[in-house]
Chain A
Amino acid sequence: LNRRRFLEVGVAGVAGTSLVDMLRARQAPAQTRESTLRILQWSHFIPAYDAWFDKFAKEWGDKNRVKVRVDHIPHLELPARMAAEFAAGAGHDIIHNGSSILTRLYYKSLVDISDVYDQIGKKYGGWIPAAGPLVQVEGRTYGIPMFYILLPMLWRKDLFDQAGLKPPDTWELARVAARTLKPKGHPTGIQFSQCADANLNWRSLLFSFGGAEADPSGENILIDSKETREAFRFAKALFDEGMTPEVFSWDDASDNRYLASGVACWIHDAISAYRTTEDTNPPVFQSTHIGVEPAGPGGKRVSVAAANVYMIWKFSRNVQGAKEFLAHFMENDLEGMKQSRGYNMPYLTANYKKPMPIIGTDPKMQILQDFPKIVAFYGYPGPFTTPIQEVVNLFVLPDMFTRVARGQAIDDTLKWGLAEYRRIFAKHKRA
């Protein structure tokens, strides 16, 4: 045995033994165990929030001797990353779900965090009613609702005043405004396309018209109704009278640009559009106002918001650390709202005490403080079930609105849409 051979055998033996030990234990060596917390979340639409969050997480880590790593990815990539981590049985400890809340799909692989949810809820006067169905399955809680994003009416007061129009307090008034202002070069626009905002906006309209996709149990399809037909008729008229065909090509940011460019008379979008306008077109921003969710024909107002939730994987090596971090994060819920410039809306009732940070002090944004009463999420009036999740991800509802706007008969559209809903619901029922 020469010296080189001795070294080769020795190094290979030590490395091999360590590896075998680690694999057998299915965890990292003791010196790195439970000292790291990995968080995966989206790149926030308000970049300053990400900078604050990363610092906030690091400070918590330093205080608790936990090395915190935060990874940001585009929101559209979250479902794919979640699937990959589930398949690998490894990845981050805390994972963020944005808009598409996958609790019902993954709950068997998520940690039951009912204790944190209940404890935080108790301390802050409870959660808003729409929060529970996002994270609860069979009586247990598998996620912490972190914030949601509202999509209110953003309307140009100067244009409305010049034309003698009333604020868009109802969908009918919004339609009259679009009809009046389009010939003056100021149409409106809502996405008739396959994007997240289309899913949210058309549901707000449908639900405000009294329509629903499923009943409160989430089991039975209710899409074929008088209210849905009425909503379709309204959307067709709104398109014909107040929009241009460019809405068929829009993505989530197109309406932001439409408002910021000074063309739109109103849009129905998150306040990121309002903030973008503040930064890029101050004169238009000055005359842009935020309105309450327009009421449907029966006076009903439902604002479908984009939910955001944190979850902890069962395979996490630091479940306790993850729970403690989430509790700490929720203790600082209002600070997060401030850092997001009022974009993040809280789920905790106590945090709605007026005046709320940012939105409570800005006269134009104060109206947002009243939204918790009318906020809803996908699946309304029931939970965000797996069939509805598939309906959302395949853009079935926006496609139905698009077909009607393009001229397809409402009966034909409903026939097509109902078949899609039935097929999806039947498949999940079988499963």
Chain B
Amino acid sequence: VVALPARPTSRRTWRTASRQRLIFGYTLLAPAALYVLLLVGAPFVFSLYLAVSDATVGDPVATFVGLENFRAAWEMDTFWIAFRNSLVFLVVAAIFKSVLGTALAFLLLQDFWGKKVIRGLVVIPFTLPIAISVLSWKWMYDSQFSVINWVLSRAGLIGSFGSPDWPVWLGQPHLALAACIAVNVWRTFPFSAIVLLAGFTSVPLEVLDAARVDGCTFFQRFRHVVVPMIFPILMIGFLFDTVFTLSDLSVVYLLTQGGPGNATKILPVLAYQIGIQAGNLGRGAAIALCLVPLLFPVLILVLRNIKRREW
């Protein structure tokens, strides 16, 4: 008689090293997954529900209205102005942030006295409470007391207060949009610089030296060595930046509330005014959700590119 080894029980199966590692992995992942589900997934699903209902801020009972809120939003002249402004805001801000962020990142890579202090200082616009920084800008753009105008006037570049060439930063439609974009760029380009700096410092010096020995110029090294190596970081930074810019309600709301005559109205401001201030949660949610089609292609592009470079 040969004694057969006892078959492992299911209880013992769970105790194998690989299983335990798997459980441990999921346990570590659980808080992050829960966080995303509760704080991102649930509000998103809730906003989908609001967008297809006639919910208002003062009535707990809402009925299903299908795509009525979207249809009504698309019929609004102001919606399309806000849509166009959001796109202009996004593209122009992205260009300036890329250029300024890259330049700043390269500057911060250099060795100079007080480098650590300067690195700390450049993130101040990003870390300052937005209400305070925008209030300062509002003063700088003031139609009468603008420090920018007074400096330009003293330098002889524009006339004195009251003259026709005295810029009214928040009062002329194109200038107002440019002024809002400038504040957004000022606030967030240090973030782009920090992301790029993190990427630059991860590029091995040997690789750069090899490229230099091979005769690559600065721009060739940047284009053919640095960018491909830090591409995933660049893409993630780009994605964050797009989300931050498109959903930035504060700058425009605090500077102009969308005026003059809707010249700076962007989708988040319109959604806030209709959804919260006027109480139409359903329509506000529908307008806010119109940001998704703008964000989705960027998200797909970024994630596909990152995935492709993983192999």
Contacts and interface: CB of A to CB of B under 8 A. Distances in A.
Contact of B168 (A106, A107, A249): A249
A248 B58 contact: no
Contacts, number: 126
Contacts of A195: 257, 259
B169 interface: yes
Contacts of A398: 259
A402 B56 CA distance: 30
Contact of B260 (A79, A194, A420): A194
Residue among A79, A194, A258, A402 having the largest count of chain B Cβ atoms under 10 Å = A194
Interface in A85-137: 86-87, 100, 102, 105-109
A185 B144 CA distance: 13
Given A193-B256, A423-B76, A79 B276 contact: yes
B216 to A, nearest CB: 49
Interface stretch (B92-100, B196-204, B277-285): B277-285
Contacts of B142: 254, 257
A420 B77 contact: yes
Contacts of A386: 278-279
Contacts of B162: 185, 244
Contact of A106 (B58, B274, B283): B58
A267 interface: no
B279 A105 contact: yes
A194 B277 contact: no
A245 B168 contact: yes
Interface stretch (B170-178, B218-226, B300-308): B170-178
Interface in A372-431: 386, 389-390, 393-395, 398-399, 402-403, 406, 416, 419-420, 423, 427, 431
A190 to B, nearest CB: 13
A291 B78 CA distance: 37
B75 interface: yes
A193 B259 contact: yes
B144 A194 contact: no
Contacts of B276: 79-80, 83
**Secondary structure type dominating chain A contacts:** helix
Contact of A193 (B260, B274, B277, B283): B260
**Secondary structure type dominating chain B contacts:** loop
B141 interface: yes
Given A108-B58, A431-B54, A394 B274 contact: yes
B143 A427 contact: no
B169 A106 contact: no
Given A107-B58, A109-B58, A393 B278 contact: yes
B115 to A, nearest CB: 40
Contacts of B262: 194, 399
Nearest to A244: B162
Interface string A263-276: 10000000000000
A251 B261 CA distance: 13
B204 to A, nearest CB: 50
B57 A86 contact: yes
Given A105-B279, A109-B58, A249-B176, A257 B257 contact: no
Nearest to B169: A249
A284 B59 CA distance: 50
A258 B144 contact: yes
Contacts of B141: 249
Nearest to A78: B277
Interface in B40-58: 54, 56-58
Contacts of A86: 57-58
B133 interface: no
A192 interface: yes
Given A195-B257, A248-B171, A427-B72, A106 B144 contact: no
B153 interface: no
A234 interface: no
Given A79-B277, A80-B276, A393-B278, A246 B144 contact: yes
B258 interface: yes
B255 to A, nearest CB: 9
B58 A390 contact: no
Nearest to A392: B278
A386 B280 CA distance: 10
Interface in B277-301: 277-281, 283
22 contacts: A106-B57, A107-B58, A185-B162, A194-B256, A194-B259, A195-B259, A244-B162, A245-B172, A246-B144, A246-B168, A248-B259, A248-B260, A249-B172, A257-B144, A258-B144, A389-B278, A394-B78, A394-B273, A395-B259, A402-B260, A427-B283, A431-B54
Given A108-B60, A248-B259, A254-B144, 8 more contacts: A102-B57, A193-B256, A246-B168, A254-B142, A257-B142, A389-B278, A393-B273, A393-B274
Interface of A: 79-80, 82-83, 86-87, 100, 102, 105-109, 185, 192-195, 244-251, 254, 257-258, 261, 263, 386, 389-390, 393-395, 398-399, 402-403, 406, 416, 419-420, 423, 427, 431
Instruction: Rank and list the top 8 A-B pairs by shortest CB-CB distance, nearest first.
Output: A249-B171, A248-B171, A246-B143, A194-B259, A249-B170, A106-B58, A390-B278, A105-B58
